[in-house]
Structure formats: C-alpha cells, structure tokens
Amino acid sequence: MADLSTNFLGIKSPNPFWLASAPPTDKAYNVERAFEAGWGGVVWKTLGEAGPPVVNVNGPRYGAIWGPDRRLLGLNNIELITDRDLEINLREITEVKKRWPDRAMIVSIMVPCEESSWKSILPRVEDTGADGIELNFGCPHGMSERGMGAAVGQVPEYIQMVAEWCKHYSKMPVIVKLTPNITDIRYPARAAKAGGADAVSLINTISSIVSVDLDNFAPVPTIDGKGSHGGYCGPAVKPIALNMVAEIARDPETRGLPISGIGGVQTWRDAAEFIALGCGTVQVCTAAMTYGFKIVQEMAQGLSDWMDEKGYETIADFQGRAVPNVTDWQYLNLNYITKAKIDQDLCIKCGRCHIACEDTSHQAITSMVDGVRHFEVMDDECVGCNLCVNVCPVDDCITMVQMTEGSDPRTGRPIDHDYANWTTHPNNPMAKQAAE
Amino acid sequence: MTESETSDVRANRLSGAEYADNFSDIHPPLTPHEALVEADRCYFCYDAPCMTACPTSIDIPMFIRKIQAANPVGSAKTIFEQNIMGGMCARVCPTETLCEEVCVRETAEGKPVKIGLLQRYATDTFMEREQPHPFSRAAPTGKKIAVIGAGPAGLSCAHRLATKGHDVTVYEAREKAGGLNEYGIASYKTTNDFAQDEVEFILQVGGITIENGKALGRDVALEQLTADFDAVFLGLGLPGVNALGLEGENASGVIDAVDFIGVLRQAEDLSQIEIGRRIVVIGGGMTAIDAAMQSKLLGAEDVTVAYRRGQEHMNASLYEQELAQTHGIAIRHWLMPDSLNVSNGAVTAITLERTALDAGGKLVGTGEKVTIEADQVFKAIGQTPDAGPLAGSVELEKGRIRVDDQRRTSHSKIWAGGDCVAGGEDLTVVSVEDGKIAAESIHKALMA
C-alpha cells in the first residue's frame, strides 16, 4: 500500500488532500466533519481584521454551469471572506487543531495592505497552534474593491512586501495564494519568493459572469435585478490551473518553490496530475461543495491504488515527474509525424470525425466509399491534428499512430529520425538571422 | 355440459382503478430533465442513419439537438416540416425497426437513443404550449382537390396541399377523422383523445374542409369528383378483413380484431366492454398483438396468439411481441385454424393444426391438431382493399391501387397513397409520407 503522507514546508498531513479556504472550512463544525471523513488538512476560511466582520449578500451567492444531467461543471461565487467574528474563529481553530494534531491546519488571512494590520493579526493566529498561513491575494470580488485580495495579488510589489511582513512578524510557514486574473503568473510567484514566502498555492478563482438571465437581462446569480462578477472554479478551470502551476514549476526563477495545487480537482487523477506538475499538496473545494466530504475517500484510495499499480511508494516518487516534459512550442519536434488511424471494428459510423475534418480542418476523412458510409483517414491529407480523436465518441477507436519509416504521403518528405524544431527551421526568419 | 362448452364472456371483470391503470399511457412521456439527458446521448451523426431510416426523412439529429438546446418547440417544428403527424408517429411507429434500429448507439451498445420518446416530448410540448400553427398558407391558387379518406395519408396530403395555397375537401366515411389513428390503434398507445387533437392541429392550417359520413361509392362518386375537382387523392385504407373461411365463423364470440379495437377506442366506459375469460387471437401482426394485449388488459385470464408461421415471420415487431409476453400472453407459432367449436351459437374453442414448411418451402398442415378453449376468437389475419368504389377508374395490382413513385395512379387526375396502394409497408408513417409525396406531385402538376 502506497504511503500518501505528505510533508509540505514541514507541515505533515496523512494525505495530500486539503480543503481549500472556502465555505467548507468556515467553522469547527464543518472542519471536524471533514477530518472525520479523512481530509489530510484544511485551509481555514479567510480571516479578516478584528472588529465587525464583513457581510455577505442575502440573496444567491452561487451560479453554475452544468452538463445535461445537471453534472456541475463550473461554479461561480460572490461570497466574501468569513463573516464570523475573528475571536470565534481563532478559538475554534485552536480547539480543532488540538483535537486533530495529525492534520494540517493552515489559516487563510486577508487584512488591509498595511504593515500594522498584518503585525497585529499574525501573533493571534500563531497562538492558535496552526501549522501555517496562506495569504489570500486572490479573491477577485468584493474584497479587491477594498484594496485587498486580487487587488494585492495583481501587483507583484505588494505581494513581496506583504510576504516580507509575514515572515518578519511570524515564525509560521507562509503560503501565498495567487490569483489567475493576471497576464503572466510567473511574476507574482517570483515576487512571493522574493518576499521570502515558503510556498505558493494556485489558482484562486477566475473573474467570471457565469451566465446571463435572458428574462431579466442580468448576470447570474442575480440579486434584486443586478449581478456582479464572481470567482469561477470547479472542473472547468482545471486546465488553466495546470498550466499556471507548470509555468511556475518550470520557471528557472521559481523552480523548486513548493506549490499547493488548486483548481478543479475532482478525483484522484486530477490530484495526480497536479502532483506530477510539481505540487506537494492539492486543495479541493468545489468537488466537496458538490458531493460532500466523503469524496476524499475515493481520492485517497484511487491515488493509492494507482501508485501501487505504478510502483510508486511515496508521493515524492512521482512528484514533478511531468515538469521536464513541459516545454515551449518552439522546442517541439517538427520531425515527429503522426497520422490518425480509425479502428474499423470499433467504429460505430457516427461520422463525426468526417464532418469535423471536412468542415473545419483538413478534408482528410472519407464519408462514403463505394456507395457505403465508411470513415477512413486519407494519410495524404492528414496533418495529424488529433481533432477526430477528440470528437470521436468511442474510446480508442481513433488513435494517432507515429510514422517511423518511409515518407509522409502528405508532404512527400522522407521520415527524418533526427529531432528538429522551429528555432532552426528554414521558414523561421529568426533562425535565418541567427544563421547569417 | 362440460366446462369447455360454457362460454364465459362478460363486462366488469376489473375494478374501475384497474381499467384506468391498464389503459393509461403505456410509455409515459419523458419529463423535461429525462428528455435533456436522453437528447445528450445523440451524437448528431453526419449523414445520420436514423434520418435515412425514417420513411418521412425527419431531420432527427437536428430535432434532438434543439431539445438539448432547450428549444422543444423549435424541435417540433423540425419534425412537422417532414411529418405533420409527428405526434402520432412518435406513439405508434415501430421505431425499433426504423430509426432506432440503425442508431449508432444501437451499434455501439445495443441501446439506441430513444428517438420515438424524444419526438413525443417535442411534439407534446408544442401541443401543450398551444403554439400557433407552424405553417402558413401560400397565396390562394384557386385549385380544388378532393381527398378521399381522412386517415394519415389523406390528412397528410390535405395539409401539404393547403400550405401550397390549394383548397381541399376531405370525404370521410366515418363519423370522425383520423382513420386508423382514431379507430385502429390500441388505446394505451394514444390516450386522452390525442388522435382528435392531432386532427384539429392539422386543420389549423386552414383551407381544409372535412365532410364526415361521406363514403366513396355510396355518397360520392369518383367520376363526379374528377369532374368537380382539379385533382383527387385516394387514401382509402383497407376497409375489409380476411375471413378464416371456417364453419361457425358467424358464431357469437368470433370477432374481427380491427372492429374490437375500434369499439375499444370509441368506448366511453371500458368496464362495459364484454370480454371472454379465454381468448385466442389468430394472426401475427401488430393488430393481433394489439387485440391480445387489450383483451388481457380488459381482464381476460388466458390469452393466446396463434400464428401459422414461425416467430421470425411475424409482422409484429420483436418489441411488440415481448410486450405481449411480459403481459402474460402466450404466443404460439406454427398453428393454423382448423375448425371452430360452437355450442349454443357461441364459440367455445378453436382447433388448430400444426404446420411446417415442406421441402419446397410451402406452408403445409402436419395433421397434428391442438384444441384451445376460447370464449372469444379474434381474427387478425390481414385487412383487404375494396376496389368496388373505384369503379374501374384506376389500375390495380393484387387488388390494391397501382401508383408510381410520385403516387400517381393510371388516371391523370387521381393520386393515391397509404394502405390502399400496392407496395410499401402498412405503417402510419409510410402513409404520411405517401400523402406528402402525392401532394407535392399534385402541386407540381396543377401549377405546371
């Protein structure tokens, strides 16, 4: 049986599955239920300054995108940081950590971008016995208008500054949570590192309008006829999160910086992908908010079973294994030739590959041969784009097969076994300049 | 008297609740959510096999996509464009041998997209929302067409002609329009007077007058119609029923299945319909299954369908056969009627002879006989055309009207379609297509 235990910045947890800072971690009641269900750790829902807490809207806070069977694919929220009193939160954090010493207890914090604010809250959090803090620089709605959350996360200098304060006024490990609502994720990550942060976590939610109510002509969720942009999360955002994680993992300036991966983790496989791109833990929110806490049991068991099958004994055995294989487009091997191949025994003759190729790509798949509906790839037209594979409803019916000998019937050029990329390609004006 | 000589035929075999339950919709319609989930199973195939298999060429992938896109009303319009009786066809089409048989999901996993139920969802939604009629009429052409028979072929033809701007008069022998939709389909397939709702829907287009109680040959003459109208369409159906040709066929309890189904459909109170305790249905088509099923649902205890050939030769679809069997109906093959046992003027049993195919493939009796006790024997061995009213105006082929691919008869002003023409399957959907094709051909001829 694989060992799922993790040690992230010295914070130990029995498995890499943490609940992200969000409604599921807003109070002791939920967090205790989560630990009972098997979650390895939690990031307590973001605390604000002492005094009267923020208030939430009293209408709908969420909007969603669904598949046809109401499978929730994307969730959007306009909820703010905790709207409970700071003292109550601190007391509950202390009690829960005491009762669950083997679980990771991270506290998310968002206070105004002033040194005094951070200086005053940090010791209070440290007194709870929490294992670490996460700086919420990501929340894209409500708090950013007040100069917090994403408003800080979008300015690398602020990130560095606040990270420095946190390291100065606290002995706890500092995780900086990054907003994806930025052009290049590497800049805030570099700033976090420069400020002395121990890790980054990403992604926070993406600014979004999840849909428009066509009867009222207002964004959803609609509060008294009006709507506001929210933060988008759930399975739909995973590809964006994976890319941003990879960008940080392979950036020479931040390589090795511990990462806690967030964004659309629904199953063990999603978690394994984040870990393969370098993450030490993953954080989950939408999946729990959709199905409840029990899903962690599938995640832990699934990850363990897969690791056993692959012979990985610990998380570290495969952590980051995909990072070296993430590269820039210009370094992809242009001599690697593939052709789509349709397995006629598996083909159910829906014709989707044909029409996708015919209407929108390279006219490389037949629809009729000798008067009979028949779908076959014409190698002399196929550019190997993979669209047919993606639209085919049958698993493994269409596969991409590498050509290893002869010549490419499309270009007439012999297969070249040497690696060659765009940087040296004769059509690349930059390559020409370099050669001259 | 022994028990077998006692005829037990009576009404009120069941409680009111049982009648209501037995004759409710056999396939409950999909809920909106079920429809969305089922619609999502459609792959929106290119050159879709289902569309080719549909006799009326409904754009099935498109109507299903419109359901996916939460536009069931638009979906229904797509259906009606090709088949104005899309609502009834959704209920009675043997989809398992048409669109659903060739669905790629059938190929892939043996579970086709439920095209029939989706079609019903779209068309029912359209009717329930009381949408304006989806077709408007072209400018009046001044042409008049007579349609004989307000069944699926006649109404389909009349509707298409009306949209072209022609005026149509439909002569119907019966009291109600609808043909077999009204009189010949099992009650549980079309509940809540749907057939009449559909007739009303079709007539909404305007320009169609139905004259009920006017039979060809009795009240109107074909020769006169061809003189009075610019064109005539014959959708006569098959008014006759094959006889067993046995002694005692006029005994009480020996009944035409088609009549039985018609009486059931028109019944105000099902509990008043007399049904035997033991029923034998002779035949192997949809009518035989419909009669057997409804006998059982009226409270008959033992229902047997006896067919003279094998299971593979039955005209009733496999699905219909299984439906009957799961309702406790015995389907027995290779049995042909030999004689009727009649006592006191009422049938008490039927004796059947076992059959086999001889070396030449001809059906022959083996001499071995089986007697099945029966309080009622339903005859469902095929319906027959009646050429009498045609008075020799058009050429026939095996008793039915000969037509070309545009449904033109040998008479230049007469078209024909539906069950009364030679060739093709006797299905509602085929009749609708015949009417449609004939209407296009008539329009072309009249406007040339």
Cβ–Cβ < 8 Å for A236, A211: no
Cβ–Cβ < 8 Å for B184, B177: no
Give me A11's structure tokens: 């914070």
Using a CB-CB cut-off of 8 Å, the residues of chain B touching A68 are 36-37, 39-40, 68
Q: What is the pLDDT of residue B185?
A: 87
Predicted-complex ipTM score: 0.87
Q: Write out the DSSP string of A116-133.
A: HHHHHHHHHHHTTT-SEE
Nearest-by-Cβ selection for A367 from B37, B43, B47: B47
Catalytic pick among A113, A139, A285, A392: A139
Cβ–Cβ < 8 Å for B302, B328: no
| Other CB atoms within 10 A of residue B201 CB | 21
Residue of A nearest to B46 (CA): A351
pLDDT band, very low/low/confident/very high, at B28 (cuts 50, 70, 90): confident
Helices (H), B219-316: 222-228, 257-266, 286-297
Residue of A nearest to B39 (CA): A68
Beta bridge partners of B376: B279
Q: Is A70 on the interface with B (CB under 8 A)?
A: yes
Kindly determine whether residue B46 and residue A67, on different chains, have CB atoms separated by under 8 Å.
no
Nearest-by-Cβ selection for A68 from B40, B46, B104: B40
Q: What is the pLDDT of residue B372?
A: 97
Strand ranges, E, within A229-280: 230-233, 259-262
Q: What is the pLDDT of residue B130?
A: 87
Nearest-by-Cβ selection for B46 from A67, A351, A393: A351
Per-residue pLDDT reduced to its tens digit, A394-422: 999 999 999 999 999 999 999 999 999 99
Nearest-by-Cβ selection for B37 from A69, A349, A393: A69
Nearest-by-Cβ selection for A68 from B37, B46, B47: B37
Cβ–Cβ < 8 Å for B216, B420: no
Residue of B nearest to A394 (CA): B108
Q: Is the peptide bond before A203 cis (omega within 30 degrees of 0)?
A: yes
Query: Maximum CA pair distance of chain A?
Result: 80
Kindly determine whether residue A393 and residue B43, on different chains, have CB atoms separated by under 8 Å.
yes
Q: What is the pLDDT of residue B1?
A: 38
pLDDT band, very low/low/confident/very high, at A291 (cuts 50, 70, 90): very high
Kindly determine whether residue A68 and residue B48, on different chains, have CB atoms separated by under 8 Å.
no
Helix axes B115-128 and B60-68, enclosed angle (nearest 10): 60
Using a CB-CB cut-off of 8 Å, the residues of chain B touching A371 are none
Q: Provide the shortest C-alpha distance from residue A368 to chain B (in Å).
A: 10
Per-residue pLDDT reduced to its tens digit, A19-54: 999 999 999 999 999 999 999 999 999 999 999 999
Q: What is the pLDDT of residue B3?
A: 46
Kindly determine whether residue A367 and residue B46, on different chains, have CB atoms separated by under 8 Å.
yes
Per-residue pLDDT reduced to its tens digit, B66-114: 999 999 999 999 999 999 999 999 999 999 999 999 999 999 999 999 9
pLDDT band, very low/low/confident/very high, at A317 (cuts 50, 70, 90): very high
Q: Which of A172-181, A383-392, B13-22, B293-302 is predicted least confidently?
A: B13-22
Per-residue pLDDT reduced to its tens digit, A370-382: 999 999 999 999 9
CA A14 to chain centre: 22
Share of chain A above pLDDT 90, in %: 92
Q: Is A67 on the interface with B (CB under 8 A)?
A: yes
Q: Has residue A178 got a pLDDT over 70?
A: yes
Strands A218-220 and A211-213: antiparallel
Share of chain B above pLDDT 70, in %: 99
pLDDT band, very low/low/confident/very high, at B4 (cuts 50, 70, 90): low
Q: Provide the shortest C-alpha distance from residue A355 to chain B (in Å).
A: 6
Residue of A nearest to B43 (CA): A350
CA neighbor of B152 nearest in space, from B26, B55, B291 = B55
Any catalytic annotation for residue A139?
Answer: yes
Residue A155 CA: distances (Å) to CA of A248, B160, B372: 17, 68, 92
CA neighbor of B234 nearest in space, from B18, B53, B402, B31 = B402
Beta bridge partners of B171: B148, B211
Q: Has residue B201 got a pLDDT over 80?
A: yes
Using a CB-CB cut-off of 8 Å, the residues of chain A touching B43 are 350, 352, 393
Helix axes A115-126 and A86-99, enclosed angle (nearest 10): 40
When pLDDT is averaged across residues B143-152 and rounded to a whole number, the result is: 98
Strand ranges, E, within B223-334: 231-234, 240-241, 254-256, 275-276, 278-282, 302-306, 330-332
Sign of CA dihedral B163, B421, B314, B332: positive
pLDDT band, very low/low/confident/very high, at A116 (cuts 50, 70, 90): very high
Radius of gyration of chain B from Cα atoms? Answer: 23
Q: What is the pLDDT of residue A139?
A: 67
Q: Write out the DSSP string of A53-91.
A: PP---SS--EEEEE-TT--EEEEEE---S--S-HHHHHH
Kindly determine whether residue A352 and residue B43, on different chains, have CB atoms separated by under 8 Å.
yes
Residue of B nearest to A357 (CA): B46
Q: What is the pLDDT of residue A433?
A: 66
pLDDT band, very low/low/confident/very high, at B238 (cuts 50, 70, 90): very high
When pLDDT is averaged across residues A108-123 and rounded to a whole number, the result is: 95
pLDDT band, very low/low/confident/very high, at A435 (cuts 50, 70, 90): low
Kindly determine whether residue B46 and residue A69, on different chains, have CB atoms separated by under 8 Å.
no
Using a CB-CB cut-off of 8 Å, the residues of chain A touching B71 are none
Kindly give, in sequence order, each residue whose CB lies less than 8 Å from that of residue B57, ignoring residues fewer than 6 positions away.
B51, B82, B433
Q: Give me the count of residues in chain A.
A: 436
Beta bridge partners of B231: B145
When pLDDT is averaged across residues A81-100 and rounded to a whole number, the result is: 97
Kindly determine whether residue A352 and residue B36, on different chains, have CB atoms separated by under 8 Å.
no
Using a CB-CB cut-off of 8 Å, the residues of chain A touching B104 are 348-350
pLDDT band, very low/low/confident/very high, at A432 (cuts 50, 70, 90): low
Give me A92's structure tokens: 């509950």
CA gap B283, A136 in Å, rounded: 78
Share of chain A above pLDDT 70, in %: 99
Residue of B nearest to A368 (CA): B47
The average confidence (pLDDT) of chain B is 95
Radius of gyration of chain A from Cα atoms? Answer: 25
Specify the long-range contacts of residues A94-98, CB closer than 8 Å, at least 24 apart. A94/A127, A94/A128, A94/A129, A95/A28, A96/A28, A96/A31, A96/A32, A96/A35, A97/A128, A97/A129, A97/A130, A97/A131, A98/A129
Q: Is A369 on the interface with B (CB under 8 A)?
A: no
